[in-house]
Amino acid sequence: MDTITIQQVVSWGIPIIIGIVGATFAITKYISSNALRALQDRLKLNEDRIKEYEVRLSESQRYSPDSVLKKSPVLEMKRQLDDAETSELASKIDALETERDHLLSELSNRVTASLDPRSEFSNLLSQLKSTDAETRKKAVQGLLALKDPLSFIPLVNYLENNTDEATKASNAYLGEWFRALIQIGGPKGAEYVASQIESPREGWSEAVFSNLQYALSTPELIDGAIPAIERCALSHASTSVRTQAKVLIQHLQSKREEYVEKANAQKEHEKWMEEQEKKHEQEKIPSDFIIISALKDNDLNQLAYNIIHSGQDPKFWRSGLIIAEEYACNESNQKNCIQAIKQILENAIGAIAKPSHCFLLYLLSEMETSSGDSQSAKAHLEEAHELMPEMLKFLNENEKAFHIKTFIS
C-alpha cells in the first residue's frame, strides 16, 4: 500500500510542482498588487495630511494675536519662526513632502518592475501625447501590442488627428489600424470602422470595405458593424458605394448565420459529450464487482471473503498486491492468481486508472516470469511500457520492493 502511495506522488510530482510554481507566481503578483495599492493609499493619506497642516498653518497665522505686525515683513517672519505651533506644522509638512517623494519613487519602481504588461499602459498613453514623433510611434506600437480596451478612444483620436503620421510606411497601414481597432474595441470598434465607409478621407472607404469582409469574426462584431453599413447602403450619395454596402451586408449576414450555426453545433456536441460521459459514469461497473467476480471465478474465494470483510474500498492496485501475495505463498493457486489478474484487466477497461493498470501488468509479468512463461511476461511488460513508461521505470528501479518473492512472509 505504501509503495503505491509513493508511486502516486512520483507520478503526480511534476504537475504538483508546476501547480506550486503557478500558485507562487499568483501569490507574488497578488502581494505586489497589494503593495502598490498600499503605497497609493499612503500617498493619498500624506497628501490629505499636508493639506490639513497647511490649513492649520494658515489659520494660525491669520488669527495670531500678533497679526497687527503683518505690516512689517521682517517682524512677521521673526514672529512665525518664534511660534512653536507654526514651526511644528512647517516641520511636519517638510517631513511629509520628503516621505511623499520617497513613496512616489518606490511606486514608480514597483510599477516599472511589474511583469504585468498593463503596468506600462499609463506610460504609453502619456508617450502618445509626446511632441516627439518617434516617441509617439513607439507608444502606438506598444498600445497596439497591448490591445487594452481602454486604449481604444486614445488610439482613435490619434489616428484621426495624426492620420499621415499614423499610416506612413514605417508605421501600421490603414488596414492594420482598422483590424487592430476592431480587436481592441470589440463591437464598438466594429461600429467605428464601419462608420468610416462614408469618410471623406482618401482611401478610408476602400480600406473599410476590404477589411470588414474578413475582420468581423464573431456574430457580436457583425452586429456592431451592420447598423453603420445599413445607413450607408440607404443614404449614401454614390450609387457605387450604396451597392458595395448592400453587397457587404449580404456577405456579413451570411457569415453571421455560419458563425451561429457553428456555435450551436459546437454547443450541441459539447452537450452530447457531457451526456455520454455521465452515461458512461453511470454504466461503469464498480471496481469491487470486477475484483470480487474475478477472484470467485478463479477459485480464490478466501481472498474475496477477506476483501469483502476488510471494510476497505477495493482498489485495483490493492487487489493486485493481495493476489501477488497469494501467488507467492500458495503454489497450488498460482495459475488461478494469473487468470484472476488477467480477468480483472479484461473487465476493467475504461474503469481502471493508468497507474493501476500498469502496476497489474507489471505484477502479471512477474508471475508469468516466475511460472516460466517468459514470452507472455515480455508482452505484458511491453504493454506496460507503452501505457505508462515512467511508472514502469519506477517499478523496475524499485524491483526489490515489488518482486514477487518479497510477498512471501
Instruction: Give the model confidence (pLDDT) of 55-99 as tens digits.
Output: 565 555 444 444 433 444 444 444 554 566 666 766 776 677 677
pLDDT of residue 62: 47
Count the Cβ atoms, other than its own, within 10 Å of residue 48.
11
pLDDT of residue 361: 92
Q: Residue 345: which residues within 8 A CB-CB, separation 6 or more?
A: 352, 357, 360, 361, 364
pLDDT of residue 52: 63
Q: What is the mean pLDDT of the chain?
A: 77
Report whether pLDDT(249) > 90: yes
pLDDT of residue 14: 46
What pTM did the predictor assign?
A: 0.44
Span 363-375, pLDDT tens digits: 999 899 888 888 9
pLDDT of residue 73: 43
Listed residue (278, 273, 194) closest to 231, CA to CA: 194
Give the side-chain half-sphere CA count within 13 A for 94. 6
Q: Is the dihedral of CA 187, 193, 198, 199 positive or negative?
A: positive
Amino acid at 211: N
Q: Residue 80: which residues within 8 A CB-CB, separation 6 or more?
A: 61, 86, 87
Lowest mean pLDDT among 32-36, 246-250, 260-264, 276-280: 32-36
Report whether pLDDT(204) > 50: yes
| Cell numbers describing residue 255 | 457569415
Report the pLDDT averaged over residues 136-151.
Answer: 89
Percentage of the chain lying above the pLDDT 90 cut = 26
- CATH class of this structure's domain 287-407: mainly alpha
pLDDT of residue 58: 57
Q: How far apart are CA 69 and CA 222, in angstroms?
A: 75
Q: Residue 354: which residues within 8 A CB-CB, separation 6 or more?
A: 387, 388, 391
Residue boundaries of the structural domains of the chain: 20-115, 194-283, 287-407
Confidence of residue 6 (pLDDT cuts 50, 70, 90): very low
Q: How far apart are CA 401 and CA 362, in angstroms?
A: 13
pLDDT of residue 59: 55
**Greater confidence, 121 or 182?**
182
Greatest Cα-to-Cα distance within the chain, rounded to the nearest angstrom: 121
Report the pLDDT averaged over residues 311-317.
Answer: 77
The answer to whether the CB of 274 falls within 8 A of the CB of 268 is no
Burial class for 287, CB neighbours closer than 10 Å (0-12, 13-18, 19+): buried
